[in-house]
């Protein structure tokens, strides 16, 4: 994507463990449980954490589900030959064209051809990291976490603890911010599970937004005027947005009475706790998903497995 940064959204998110959770280490275990927690060396000791890449994967698949309920064609199947990434592997379009052609989920999370708009940092424990306990893993398939085979083995779970991550959305269109809002709502309602054995009752967590910060940069950065802030998507901030097929103009005005730091080129606003007005932009996502036309439809037909 273009190098110039015109807007960004940073969501400080706490993930609270509400039942047994296992994020499996990719490393082979010489001794100990068959399925061990992924750990990181931090503050002079080893502790469990939630890798940013697996969090991003969980958010992506949930966003796919949300997209398909509105429009089955709005999300490609990332594992199929008909995925945007596989098609771009063969076609090698330039970045603007790839972004224009991609499904809505790839436009947000990325694929071959361009990096995603959303990044998630590794989530570390808030306070003392929880200690994993060993559980008997009968009933959880050791590879997929799905079907049971009856073989007995040991796994490690944590049953308490809170982890903190930062979601970082750069150069977003308003519909992308709105989709993130729907995902966060479901996360807070406990509808998103993480890690192994999701269909067997593991992975229950709750995502709680602590703070949402939005920055606008460049000559078109909006100012807060009379308690009103115009949220601007990239289509209203970047002159080349048309080449990417972005929504343009792309803005919604919301009330804002918080602190503003602004130097004329960068405007920064902060919404504490869960005060970000997601409902004011929700229709941007619904509209975009409903109207979405798959520009790769003919290529997907040809490449179907
Ligand atoms: Zn796609």
Stated as kind and residue range, the H or E segment containing 168 is strand 162-170
Ligand 1 centroid – CA 256 distance (Å): 35
Write down the pLDDT at residue 170.
97
Q: Is 168 within a domain?
A: yes
Average pLDDT, the chain: 91
Query: Ligand 1: distance of its center to the CA of 11 in Å?
Result: 24
> 99 C-alpha to center of ligand 1: Å?
10
Range of the domain at 34: 12-212+273-295
* Nearest of 78, 101, 108, 104 to residue 291 by alpha carbon: 104
Q: What does DSSP say about strands 228-232 and 251-255: parallel, antiparallel, or unpaired?
A: antiparallel
Whether the CB-CB separation of 141 and 202 falls below 8 Å is answered with: no
> CA gyration radius for the chain?
21
Per-residue pLDDT, 55: 96
Residue 147 confidence (pLDDT) above 50: no
* Rounded (10°) CA dihedral 195, 196, 197, 198: 20
What separation in Å is there between the alpha carbon of 175 and the centre of ligand 1? 16
Total domains, the chain: 1
pLDDT per position as a tens digit, 265-290: 899 999 999 999 999 999 999 999 99
Mean pLDDT across the stretch 120-138? 91
Q: Comparing C-alpha atoms, which of 145, 144, 120, 124 is closest to residue 59?
A: 120
CA of 37 to the centre of ligand 1 (A): 31
In a domain, 92, yes or no: yes
Domain membership flag for residue 182: yes
Burial string for 277-305 (b: 16+ CB within 10 Å, else e) reads bbebbbebbeebbeebebebeebbeeeee
Better-scored residue on pLDDT, 153 or 173: 173
Task: Decide if 227 is inside a domain.
Answer: no
Cα(13) to ligand 1 centroid in Å equals 26
Alpha carbon of 293 to ligand 1 centroid (Å): 12
Q: Is 70 exceeded by the pLDDT of residue 299? A: yes
Do the domain assignments include residue 264? Answer: no
The phi and psi torsions of 113 (rounded to 5 degrees) equal 115, -30
* Total-model pTM: 0.93
In a domain, 54, yes or no: yes
pLDDT tens digits for 234-262? 999 999 999 999 999 999 999 999 999 98
Question: Domain for residue 104, yes or no?
Answer: yes
Q: % helix / strand / coil in the chain, to the nearest 5?
A: 30, 30, 40
In a domain, 302, yes or no: no
């Amino acid at each position: 994507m273009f190098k110039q940064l015109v807007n960004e959204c940073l969501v400080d998110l706490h993930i609270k463990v509400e039942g047994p959770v296992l994020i499996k280490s990719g490393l082979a275990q010489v001794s100990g449980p068959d399925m061990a927690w992924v750990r990181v060396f931090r503050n002079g000791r080893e502790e469990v954490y939630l890798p940013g890449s697996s969090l991003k994967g969980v958010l992506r698949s949930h966003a796919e589900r949300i997209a398909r309920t509105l429009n089955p064609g709005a999300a490609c199947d990332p594992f199929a030959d008909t995925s945007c990434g596989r098609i771009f592997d063969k076609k090698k379009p330039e970045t603007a064209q790839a972004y224009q052609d991609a499904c809505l989920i790839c436009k947000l999370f990325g694929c071959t051809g361009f990096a995603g708009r959303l990044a998630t940092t590794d989530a570390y424990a808030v306070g003392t990291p929880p200690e994993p306990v060993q559980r008997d893993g009968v009933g959880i398939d050791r590879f997929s976490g799905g079907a049971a085979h009856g073989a007995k083995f040991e796994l490690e779970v944590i049953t308490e603890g809170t982890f903190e991550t930062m979601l970082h959305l750069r150069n977003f269109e308003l519909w992308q911010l709105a989709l993130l809002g729907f995902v966060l709502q479901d996360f807070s309602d406990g509808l998103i599970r993480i890690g192994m054995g999701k269909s067997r009752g593991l992975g229950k967590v709750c995502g709680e937004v602590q703070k949402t910060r939005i920055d606008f940069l460049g000559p078109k950065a909006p100012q807060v005027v009379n308690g009103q802030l115009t949220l601007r998507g990239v289509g209203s901030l970047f002159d080349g947005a048309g080449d990417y097929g972005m929504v343009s103009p792309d803005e919604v005005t919301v009330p804002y009475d918080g602190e503003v730091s602004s130097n004329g080129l960068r405007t920064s606003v902060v919404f504490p706790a869960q005060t970000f007005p997601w409902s004011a932009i929700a229709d941007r996502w619904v509209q975009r998903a409903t109207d979405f036309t798959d520009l790769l439809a003919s290529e997907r037909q040809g490449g179907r497995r």
